[in-house]
Amino acid sequence: MWVIIKFDKNNFEFLKEELRKKLGDNFIIYNPKFFFQKYINNKCTYKEFNLLGDYLFCFHKNFKNTDTLNNLKFTKGLKYILSGFVQSQEEIKKFIKKCKDSEDKKGYLTQNFFELHMNSKYKFISGPFAEMIFKIVGFQKNKINILLGNVKTTIKKNELLYNPL
């Protein structure tokens, strides 16, 4: 059963070790991430971005048992476990499958994760146009026609990362 955990980013490695002590080695942690380049002061830096912020998914077969969950409540690095995960198992599985299908070889999410819509506004998070807002005006096979300010241009779908606004 999957649970959604809010964790302390500074104690993530400690949390994994504590979970290993309490649950054994047969648990799965899934934390979808983006990897992108950002230009700061004309220098290219590479960053890792957690899609869910300080939340992650954790799977263990004994999470159905409330005693197992109560045993984890005061684990160092764990802030809390979201309630309502029992009723949301199908949605969690669909979301994780969508994330896994959108991952590249290194395990990072690609731009295929986001659904693109005509006349919607997006913000670049990587590349030379980082932090700029654009509007989608058309689609081609592997390219997108965009309006950046009042300049119309074309970009490749999977070349740059962007988020919907």
Q: Which residues contact 104 (CB under 8 A, 6 or more apart)?
A: 110
Cα dihedral value 110, 114, 115, 121, nearest 10: -120
Ordered per-residue pLDDT tens for the chain, 165 residues: 999 999 999 999 999 999 999 988 889 999 999 887 777 777 777 888 888 989 999 999 988 888 888 888 888 999 999 988 889 899 999 999 999 998 889 988 887 787 788 888 988 877 778 888 999 999 888 888 999 888 999 988 877 778 788
Maximum CA extent, the chain: 59
What predicted TM-score, i.e. pTM, was given to this entire model?
0.78
pLDDT at residue 58, rounded to an integer: 94
Q: Does domain 115-164 have CATH number 2.30.30.30?
A: yes
d(CA 136, CA 153) in angstroms, rounded, equals 10
The full set of domain ranges for the chain reads: 2-111, 115-164
pLDDT at residue 115, rounded to an integer: 79
Residue 116: name the closest of 164, 64, 58 by CA.
164
